[in-house]
Amino acid sequence: MPKRTARAHKRKSKAPVESQGAMEYLMTYAWAILVIAIVLAVLFSLNMFSFNVRTQPGACQVIRPLGPYNPTDVGLQGECSGSLPEYASSFGTLSMSELNGGSSGNGKGYGGVSYPKYILLPNLNIGNEFSNPNYLGYSSPGFTITAWVYWYGPDGAPCQGIMGTNPSPSSGIALYGYGGNNGACGVLWINGSYVKWKSATNYSFIENKWIFIAATYNQSNGTATVYENNSAFSTVVLSPRSFQTTNSFSLGATIFPNGDIYPLNGMISNVQLYNTPLSTQELTGLYSEGIDGTPLRLQNLIGWWPLNGNANDYSGNNNDGVATNVSFYSTYPLP
């Protein structure tokens, strides 16, 4: 009996020793585990573990067998089923000291910045592409601009352009990503008239998040509408207007006639331009396709700039862009 009691006591006393060993093990390796967890969190935030198939630059494009702007037998060709582009273009951020560092004008950015970011589209002319029935499958006159935008937030510059022509008092079109603190620019400019922002105090889109933006204009009845994601937030009826201007387009910045350049403080991807107003159902389809979606209505497609590593136009219409100081990032926030 005494011998059995001693053995039982020995078994009981072993448990605290094992617990103490486990605690020592945890204390020894806890810091290593914590460091590994932090590294994994950083890698996930940088999309290093994203298993989405990335679309390479130029992998998908529109083919026009009979030449630019000819809608006959037009179709898509290549790898067009990716879920994310390999790159996204960035036009910001400029520091406040840069933004406020000088006088405007003379081809400089807001506040006199001598190296603003923008893309010029020198071959694009809305006098031809929008109003000439010999171009594309001309149907309902007007236009549609769509883009995926990641806006960083206010940086001081108003009238930050997404896409448009040089806005003059009576001609041009422009879609803006930020109207400034006092709404100096509407969200959409059409030949001298503005489409207003969401409210009298809200002059921007959602910030720090990828959103789908679309602007349509029906020249027949004058209706202009701007969409954020899948919802229309501003509609106005203007007097019907034609598009007879030679002002070239730009992407990622507003370029004013006096040379001022106001870049968008953010990223842009998958810009599409049509010479007809797309329907609500068609815009819903583009939104549902996501940031790497392919164009609809190829017969009405004027330009398609995925901005996936370059400023090339993949619509088959040769409206390639010329990029200045634009950055293309393979690591960007997921939509």
| 93 band by pLDDT with thresholds 50, 70 and 90 | low
Strand locations in 41-97 (E): 54-55, 60-63, 75-78, 84-85, 88-90
Domain ranges of the chain: 1-45, 54-329
What's the CATH code, domain 54-329?
2.60.120.200
pLDDT at 102 over 70: no
Predicted local confidence at residue 170, as pLDDT: 64
pLDDT at 12 over 60: no
Residue from 270, 249, 247, 251 nearest 325 by CA: 251
CA–CA distance, 55 with 270 (Å, rounded to integer):
12
| 142 band by pLDDT with thresholds 50, 70 and 90 | confident
Mean of pLDDT values over 161-187: 81
> Could you tell me what percent of the chain has a pLDDT over 70?
70
Give the chain's radius of gyration (CA, Å). 27
Look up residue 317 and give its two tokens. Answer: 């219409």
pLDDT at 17 over 70: no
pLDDT at 1 over 50: no
pLDDT at 186 over 50: yes
Mean of pLDDT values over 192-212: 87
pLDDT at 236 over 80: yes
Q: 45-59, 67-81, 216-230, 270-284: which range is least confident on average?
A: 45-59
| 100 band by pLDDT with thresholds 50, 70 and 90 | very low
Predicted local confidence at residue 63, as pLDDT: 96
Residue from 136, 92, 168 nearest 304 by CA: 136
Predicted local confidence at residue 103, as pLDDT: 36
Mean of pLDDT values over 185-194: 86
Predicted local confidence at residue 242, as pLDDT: 64
Mean of pLDDT values over 78-93: 86
pLDDT at 265 over 60: yes
Q: Which residue has the tokens 């309902």?
A: 140
pTM of the model: 0.79
| 95 band by pLDDT with thresholds 50, 70 and 90 | very low
User: Could you report the per-residue pLDDT of 286-303, keeping only the tens digit for each?
Assistant: 999 999 999 999 999 999
| 69 band by pLDDT with thresholds 50, 70 and 90 | confident
Predicted local confidence at residue 38, as pLDDT: 77
C-alpha torsion sign, points 205, 206, 207, 212: negative
Q: 41-45, 124-128, 228-232: which range is least confident on average?
A: 41-45
